[in-house]
Structure 1
Amino acid sequence: MHTWYWRNWQGLPYLTCSILERWEHGFFTQQFWPRSPQVITQVLQPEASVYRLKQVHGNTVLTPQEIDSLLSTDDQDLALADGLISEQPLQAVWVASADCTPVLIGDVKSGQVAALHAGWRGTAKKIVPLAIARLQSQGSKLDDLRIAMGPAIAGEVYQVSIDVAAEIGASIIPDDDEQKIITALHQLPNSPLLEDPNAGKVRLDVRRVNTLQLENMGISGEQIAIAPYCTFQTPEHFFSYRREKEKKVQWSGIVSSKKNH
């Protein structure tokens, strides 16, 4: 089993996971708000270059090089995307979340890393499998990947419409028939769907859907760790958009390391 650890920086708590112990990383709490990734990178690795995005709930995954070339042609401060993949050592990649799932990935052979923002829309669009396909195109092997999903809203409190559940469900059960998708999801072992008292609604475990997408790719459960924290139910540590309706976030980041020869 993978262990999650509370760490402390100047009295402020953040989480790390044993599955990513080779890399400087953290799932930071609301106590770090409103510090920027530039500042929080100092906690992990002061020498790292820092990359972040303007997140748009899509499935675009960029590399630092792509960000640099995009920003040199645009007037924007930040590239629009929801995932980052390192190319060199000492690149810190960051995502922000408030109920959506922050996903940090490391490759034990190459030392490269990824940070992804997987809300329900990004999950429906398979952002995590797409990012892993990009890592594979950079030479990663599936067996070498280690994946941690940070604090996010838990299935038991995340009410969605049947439409939304079917849209996400189609990412693991390819079918056009909404009702068939919902029925098939309910029948899965450890189903990502839970009953909801309201008609036309269900409860949805987005991290479970991401896990099923990964398992469909051939990644084993031992390569995946899921934080035992729900943003909605842990107000002392995490912002929750559902709970507060405020545009505040917590940051999750990881720093690429040198190759392990």
Structure 2
Amino acid sequence: MTQTGRGDWYLTETDGARLARCGLLDDSRGFGHGFSSRDGGGAENPDVFLAAAGLAGRPVCMARQVHGARLISPGAVSELPEADGILIGNNPEGPAAGIRTADCVPVLLADPVSGQGAVVHSGWKGTAAGIAPLAVGVLAGRGVIPSDLRAALGPAIGGCCYQVGSEVVGAVGGAGVEPRGGGFRLDLRQAIRMQLEAAGVDPRRISIAPWCTCCEKGLFFSWRREGAGAGRMISVLAATGPP
């Protein structure tokens, strides 16, 4: 295995499968996680990615993502109904939860105290609907203290490349928006960071990946760069043992 790092985040490569990991989640006892790249495993070949993430043989539940704000709990190992967030409990025998992205933000929430967590798919519509803080609220209703959560905001399109119109700016309430060149650029991850902080997550426990999926042509798929035919990355979170 080879490894290169950028701050709290780093890339590993195992048997040709390259994935991103977050040190903040590595330090969260009782969880396994990973963010796939375009190399050697992704939404089209999840088994390769899972093996590289140390979750070989683990079933993964994925919902039919619709850019909404619905959260569900996996009941059985199968394709789940329409949703953009999956909650996980402290069950090391249960399935991992996964989401697909190609510019939208994969948000992984992990509570090392209770062993509960969530994976969230948040594009501009999901961000406008507040799906990430909604997940925090649902977890809080299950006994999680928001300030105990670790939040990893994975590879996604950055404000450097994400030009949006005034309707999107209005929908997200101006959060993460920078006027530029007669238009607007939206940094989704900064907008989500602000939402998470407002929901009670400790700012010191929020980590943002340093990569823009649109800029990093050789590393990640990007809908904005490649169009509708772009591949998809997957991001997973799994309970692996007692917290």
Q: Same fold (TM over 0.5)?
A: yes
Structure (1/2) with the larger helix percentage: 1
Residue of structure 2 in register with 1:174 after alignment: none
> Taking structure 1 as reference, are residues 228 and 125 closer, same or farther at Cα in structure 2, changes over 3 Å only?
same
Partner of 2:18: 13
Give the structure 2 partner of residue 40 of structure 1.
49
Q: Which residue of 2 aligns with 1:221?
A: 203
**CA contact 2:86–2:118 (8 Å) conserved in 1:** yes
Structure 1 segment 134-149 matched on structure 2, within 5 A = 134-149=138-153
CA deviations on 1:53-76 (whole Å, 9 max, x unpaired) are 1110001011112xx49x8xxxxx
Partner of 1:85: 87
The answer (yes or no) to whether the contact 1:2–1:17 under 8 Å persists in 2 is no
2:130 corresponding residue in structure 1: 126
Task: Specify the SS of the correspondent of 2:241.
Answer: coil
The answer on 1:243 being equivalent to 2:225 is: yes
Q: Percent identity?
A: 35
Distance 2:61 2:43 in 1: 17
Q: 1:194 aligns with which of 178, 183, 188?
A: 178
Post-superposition Cα deviations, 1:43-97, rounded to whole Å, max 9, x if no partner, equal 33235332111110001011112xx49x8xxxxx541100011124233110110
**Structure 1 residues 34, 146: closer, same or farther in 2, change over 3 A?**
closer
- Check conservation: 1:88, 1:112, Cα contact below 8 A: yes
Q: State the 1:33 CA deviation.
A: 3.9
Code of the aligned partner of 1:211: R
The 2-side partners of 1:107 and 1:78 are apart by 23
For residue 106 of structure 2, the aligned residue among 102, 105, 109 is 102
1:256 paired residue number:
239
The Cα of 1:38 is off from its aligned counterpart by 4.9
Residue 228 of structure 1: how far off its partner (Å): 0.2
Q: 1:214 to 1:89 in 2, by over 3 A?
A: same
For residue 242 of structure 1, report the CA deviation from its aligned partner: 0.5
For the residues of structure 1 that align with 2:16 and 2:22, how far apart are their CA atoms? 19
Q: Deviations over 1:177-223 (max 9, x none)?
A: xxxxx5xx5xxxxxx2222223xx31111111101111112222101
Q: Which moved more, 1:35-44 or 1:244-253?
A: 35-44
Which AA in structure 2 matches 1:54?
Answer: R
One-letter amino acid matched to 1:226: I
TM score, norm. by length of structure 2: 0.88
Query: Equivalent of 2:214, from 232, 239, 244?
Result: 232
Segments of structure 2 that go 5 or more residues without pairing to the other structure are 1-5
Q: Give 2:193's aligned residue.
A: 211
The corresponding residue for 2:35 is 27
* Unaligned runs of at least 5 residues, structure 1: 72-76, 170-181, 186-191
SS in 2 for 1:157: coil
SS state at 1:202 partner: strand
Cα distance in structure 1, aligned partners of 2:24 and 2:157: 21
CA contact (8 A) 2:97 2:238 kept: yes
Cα displacement string for residues 223-254 of structure 1 (whole angstroms, at most 9, x for unaligned residues): 10000000000001101101000242101111
Task: Tell me which amino acid in the other structure corresponds to 2:191.
Answer: V
Residues 84-135 of structure 1 deviation map (CA, whole Å, 9 limit, x = unaligned): 1112423311011001000111101112221110100000000001111111
Contact 1:37 1:52 in 2 (8 A): no
CA gap 1:210/1:244 in 2 versus in 1, 3 angstroms: same
Retained in 2: the 8 A contact 1:2–1:225? no
- Name the structure with the higher strand share: 2
**2-structure distance, mates of 1:223, 1:34:** 28
SS in 2 for 1:30: coil
The alpha-carbon deviation at position 138 of structure 1 amounts to 1.6
C-alpha contact (below 8 Å) 1:101/1:152 kept by paired residues: yes
Aligned length: 230
The structure having more radius of gyration, on CA atoms, is: 1
* TM-score where L is the length of structure 1: 0.82
Report the RMSD for the aligned CA atoms in angstroms: 2.0
